[in-house]
Structure 1
Amino acid sequence: MTSSCHPDVHSTRFILVETSQRGNVGAAARAMKVMGFTDLVLVRPRFADVLTHEETLAFASGAVDVLQRARVVDRLEDALDGVELLLGTAMTPRDFGPPCQAPRDGLPGVAGRSIGLLFGCERFGLANEDVYRCHALLSIPTAPEYGSLNLGQAVQLLAYERRQSLGGFAVEARTAPPRIADAQAVQGLLAHWQGALVKLGFLDPAAPKKLMPRLNQLLNRAQLQDEEIHILRGVARAIEQRCC
Structure 2
Amino acid sequence: MPTDTPQPAFVLVRPQMGENIGAAARAMWNFGLDRMRITSPRDGWPNQKAVAMASGAGRLLDEAILCDSTAQAVEDCTYVYATTARQRDLTKPVFTPEAAMIDARDRIAAGGKVAVLFGPERAGLENEDIVRANAIISVPVNPDFPSLNLGQCVLLTGYEWRRATQEAAPQTMQAADDWASRTEIEKLGDHYEQRLEEAGFFFPDHKSDSMKLNLRNLWSRMPFTQADVRMLHGIMRQMVRWKERGD
Does 2:48 match 1:48?
no
Q: Deviations over 1:44-83 (max 9, x none)?
A: 222424377464125xxx5445445433334444433642
Distance of 1:103 and 1:53 partners within structure 2: 28
Greater mean alpha carbon deviation, residues 144-153 or residues 231-240:
231-240
Measured at CA, do residues 132 and 22 of structure 1 come closer, stay the same or move farther in structure 2, by a change above 3 Å? same
Distance of 2:122 and 2:160 partners within structure 1: 24
Q: Alignment identity in percent?
A: 27
> Aligned residue for 1:127?
126
Gaps of at least 5 residues in structure 1 are 203-213
Distance of 1:23 and 1:52 partners within structure 2: 5
Gaps of at least 5 residues in structure 2 are 200-211
Greater mean alpha carbon deviation, residues 111-120 or residues 172-181:
172-181
Distance of 1:167 and 1:75 partners within structure 2: 30
Q: Matched residue of 2:12: which SS? A: strand
Does 2:131 match 1:137?
no
The 5-angstrom pairing of residues 109-120 of structure 1 reads 109-110=103-104, 111-112=106-107, 113-120=112-119
The 5-angstrom pairing of residues 23-38 of structure 1 reads 23-38=19-34
Is this contact kept in 2: 1:20–1:47, CA < 8 A? Answer: no
Q: Shift in Å at residue 14 of structure 1?
A: 0.3
Q: Matched residue of 1:91: which SS? A: coil
> Aligned residue for 1:170?
168
Is this contact kept in 1: 2:31–2:158, CA < 8 A? Answer: yes
CA-based RMSD: 4.2
Is this contact kept in 1: 2:82–2:136, CA < 8 A? Answer: yes
Measured at CA, do residues 175 and 15 of structure 1 come closer, stay the same or move farther in structure 2, by a change above 3 Å? same
Aligned length: 221
Measured at CA, do residues 175 and 63 of structure 1 come closer, stay the same or move farther in structure 2, by a change above 3 Å? farther
Q: Deviations over 1:146-204 (max 9, x none)?
A: 3222112222333344455x45531375842463124786688689889x96xxx76xx
